[in-house]
Chains A and B, each alone.
Chain A
């Protein structure tokens, strides 16, 4: 009898665990993403996230960095929000070009701060405010990486969110929020 009770109790505990895990698995993905996640502070390195193959690998924040990577490297990386080996390789290349050394292609606070504060050979900050602000509060900003293609970005201080264009050539007006989740599609480099 004692054995039966013990088994039933353990089964009940398993049911509870099963219910909890089902709740996490089923409910979590449908939770609406609030504004101001991912790249959500003006100073990139203060966002508190590291973007790389083992952290926010699948995220719009990765797409943000892929958009930036395409500027110094000359349109090399598909902008799909997936931090794969190709993205990592060109991220390391970007770090070499902009910073002068690399950490293996991870966008951590070291890389973020050095890339954001970097100056171009002419002495001006690579991150340039265009002076254009739309009706939603997004300030149009671009990142000059040195190639013919700038990264088209946006900063919205109201929602505390960075945005980026996956199509800087064909449609720089299309801006996607650099969220911690992945809601974006896939775009050719500098589309």
Chain B
């Protein structure tokens, strides 16, 4: 009896040991089976003595301020500069979309993103003074957070909703409308460091010109 009571007194420690052993995953066990590290081939030095204090200081408040420095202000539609860019066309099955890009827009030289299964048609351009511009036709209706909605407008019979997405600082903006039953998205993301970049205005300019046949 005395031995049993002594066991109970020590039981928590025993359970901890059992619990830790029981929680060990196969992956944890296999971790010890890793082969030796590859030989460094570059300037990487993974020294054990590397200390956080050795790192260059980073002012997170400064980077945050930098990331949120784009102020999203929606001017009245009548005040927006009118697009004089080149007319563009996107085809997605029976749907043909015609729209106009802002002046000075060029083809985005970067490779297209991965082929997502929900994308029916995709194209991308670059307005170097502002942002990249993407026009996407999807086969599923996108879901956006109501909290991110910043504007709703109608143009050429299409009702567009604009969202301040991503970091919610005006640097990534998406608009979408259902055109002839197909979800069409116009998006823009700030390119470069121009503090006067206005992705929301650019998205609106493109969306306003969009017609279908």
A residues neighboring B (CB under 8 Å) = 7-8, 10-11, 14-15, 17-18, 21-22, 24-25, 29, 42-43, 45, 58, 80-82, 84-86, 88-89, 92-93, 96, 101-105, 108-110, 113-114, 117, 122-125, 128-137, 139-140, 142, 144, 150, 152, 155, 157-158, 168, 172-173, 182, 186
Contact = CB atoms under 8 A, between A and B. Distances in A.
B64 A43 contact: yes
A12 to B, nearest CB: 9
A interface secondary structure, majority: mixed
Given A123-B191, A132-B136, A172-B114, A157 B165 contact: yes
Interface stretch (B76-84, B85-93, B116-124, B150-158): B116-124
B71 interface: no
Interface residues of B, number: 75
Given A18-B11, A58-B25, A58-B28, A96 B114 contact: no
Given A25-B19, A131-B134, A132-B113, A105 B187 contact: no
A179 B170 CA distance: 27
A5 B68 CA distance: 66
Contacts of B124: 131
Contact of A86 (B22, B37, B55): B37
Contacts of B116: 130, 132, 140, 172-173
